[in-house]
Amino acid sequence: MRAPRVPLDARPKSNPLGNLALCLASICLLIGTVLLHDGVSNSDVTQTATIISGAALLSLGLMALWFAMKSWVERRRDYKNGDRVEW
């Protein structure tokens, strides 16, 4: 005979890696935006390298943000469906 299921906490637990991913995504987005703005507004020898590095950091920040938000939405959907996962 099985023991009765004990209800878990009413609120979903946050994933610390998700919080770190959001922080790093914000930093990459900010630095990428600054580099792109600087590369486009100034005309010098390093303009191409600045634009490429800004675009790379911007895309890295967007991808990290996408994966963090995707994970959060999946956890939220599972929580609402009753598949409560404890981190």
Q: How confident is the model at residue 87 (pLDDT cuts 50, 70, 90)?
A: low
pLDDT tens readout for residues 4-56: 554 555 555 666 777 788 889 999 999 999 999 999 998 888 899 999 999 99
Report pLDDT for 19.
Answer: 79
50-59 CB contacts, 8 Å cutoff, 24+ apart: 56/32, 57/28, 57/29, 57/31, 57/32, 58/28, 58/29, 58/32, 58/33, 59/32
Report pLDDT for 80.
Answer: 76
End-to-end CA distance of the chain: 27
Contact 51, 80 (CB under 8 A): no
Give the whole-angstrom CA distance, residue 52 versus residue 58: 10
